[in-house]
Chains A and B, each alone.
Chain A
């Protein structure tokens, strides 16, 4: 507050006035080809007078005689300033913008021209994410900007992508960037409380996005202070422009299909293989029908008389149909502009019953009430429905019994989802699919029957999302702008779950239904005062001061009803016997901030900036901290010594550097600092009150000290640009939930600011127009990021953080000296050629041979190469286990990532090709363990290459019936670790623009047909469906690089039509 008053006092120092005697200047503005330009701003040099060109490019402006220059500007063209002199007519030709440098970039609470930006900001046009078969814009951001890593964690529709800017920047808190939409921070994350995914950002229709600016360093982000550590993404939605009303309609339809499902045994191979394994290692008679105890896996005749041979992938996956319609209307007069859009999208996922539909409306209005006051507002409403039948196997469900990703592989191929009479094939003995002719495996030859789950169960989530803002700008002087912006972001999520009583997860409760409502409400109010002033044409200042409040509340409640009384009921209102509460949640937080930015440049040559922000956050009561960012840039090419000879090749060179301190609070519990008692549970029916949380009243922000050094080089009149940046981010005060010794009896791991970590790397972007002729253009963008992450300190006494997958398997270990979430497994070799045993290595590297099962005397499950029992030094038998023998094995974080996009235009045709790549990382392919599980599970066809006899050289050990250890299920082994490096043909779009003169007759401005393919091809050695998946998703920064039963990704083909009127 005090700071602001200071700024205002400073305002009084500037006193300016000009005598008033007017003259009128007229003229025409054209483009390079001589075509008239509409909507070009014509302003007097002092900014007091202004007008716009009409549709014929004509303008007329009355300016005081004291005004010497007129400035002509339009976003798509390079601005020009002309001296008026004695002229009354000034005609001018504007040159279209070749380079990115003229672009407008959104920075905190203001905009800047790209060439004036001293921080590290990457910009992506809205076009890059429009017309793509995605649910939310950030899914299409992969490969578009250096330093921005997007990973689509699974094929379940509307799963939030893993969104990282310059690596993982936190261990316990969020590593996802702050998202600002039209000036208002928005709620992010998966808000669905069902098995369906519900990304909050899906409510923003990608078709409505004008541009995305991604701020990466401290200079660009510091004005967001305690929320800036993971970077800030500014989304600007489309707004109307002065001129005739424009109508645009875009429609597309397409199909999505699954790719890369691992090949498993067919029914014949399966029965042969399992019977062989059972007879050779279980001692079961599977071969002699006349002999005692004859029992085996059998082929069963299906309704057509042929043996059943079910490809479960065909039961679970499908070809999904998508359609997408967007209509927008925009336009405006000199003083008022508007943009209205409506969208409908309906997408079917590769998984049956996995659907996403969105209906949304957006309305923007901006109006200049008077010279003094401008008003603007926006309202958007979106309804999203996310549907799925039950657990998918992705994101937290990795080990769900009915995870569809796993059922597609593990269920036996010689059973059918249906009995021959058409009824569902269900086991009568247990909650499994029926075993049909399989007599050997007792009671179980699969998990759930997916066909039944698709038919009976649902786990849906519906989101109603309202975003809106209203803003007022008051300009008492042309150099002083007051702006007030109030925005809301209200998300209401309805979860609707039903689980059938007879089969599947609902059996536990004899059928149950859940209905929960979660409300995420947020309002923000920011007030800023901005001074823009240039002295003597050379000293340009921009000073901004502001206050902001950001208030979030969450509330949730719901009902679970159990024991369904009649199979007819499948809604919460039906007949059930037991009611319990569900989905209770209540939270609130509040951020109160003051901030200021200072920008100065001398003659557009030397730039300095400072950003300050002081935050107070309700989850850290009593704490107050100032964050800052400083930067400087030098436009070297503006110097005199930058002669024309150099300029011919190097048209511009800017050096810039920044440092600063920003923070992270995303994920700190609303009441984490309090010590509390709660009443969870009863004793003998009576209420209790129990110490449930030890708080840390000294908890503070995580702080990131960021350092950034970069150069922007323009070649050939800025037709090509190279941007190269080195960055280092030192994170200290990482909040870790520090475990206390169990005997201390503290109920929780108390959050403390103790960890340290860094990310450092190099970013490189090369972009430009390679060819730019009348009929043919080729623009390209290649970006590359090398990031290195290392944890440098954990809590005293805390040597490691183990992060589990799906609550069962742990392969991620975070320890000092390694990147977060390093893959931590027991090293394994192939099969011992002599015995077929799995080769394992203990901690010190000794070879231990493992064989599953009950063994004859003299043989041991774990034995040394000489056949003796594997013992501890004490002589006691021991085993190979993760706690004792796992080693830090492989890096799950891509060292290099980026994209390569090219756009070609030839006459009416355009072709856009995007490749993305990630390299230098490994994945724990946990699914692979399941594919070699020697219980009833179906197996990869590769088991047929396994060890059979003395001397066989293979990486697959002798199959032992029931073995779930040598494959890595019982203990994670390096057998399942694979390099994840890939290059993906992420998107290919071919478009054709119908010539304008043809369209004129039917009063259509433009029409474009296009075909587009997404995820067309992956170049990789990774054996799983897609190396770009993550069982642990966006939430756990320390659980990356695990692919366990995750649903495969989809490949989508769409055709579309875009018409403008």
Chain B
């Protein structure tokens, strides 16, 4: 009886092993990896098309002294490879793009001050304008970091950019929290973070409690 139950469990695991030889929906560790079969998943593409931001949560950026409606709308997002930023400027005032003093931080420890500017500082024209992203400390181009700003007559500027997580300093590049703040846009800090439970510690605690339970059982047997 015990062996047959065990055999069933072993067979089930064996099937799982074989299943894992075919492509599966998700991979581990992805913060927003919801699988390729999740139809509602809209990944971010930096191309000057902002539809992929529509279902992402946005926050208002403004100054505390500005009690009117002069706020910008911004979203900070991340995946395994990049940190993404989307900003739509205030429709009522200060509607034009300013790409300086973007302060990104990883785990509140590793800071990046970047500038998003047009190549060769050419003037921004109506339509989509490619942006290059430079580290503001040394003005070096940031590899794999790009952006787009879109200008439409009568509309506030809108732009998106991405920063590779690799660009942040730090020993293993496994960051939990990203923040964004820009003094040109407002005082608020946008935060994207995880909330790990330290799961292996709890799993170990569970095992210890189970071992204690086993000890109680053993002691009962020997005292019978």
A and B are partners in one complex rather than unrelated chains:
no
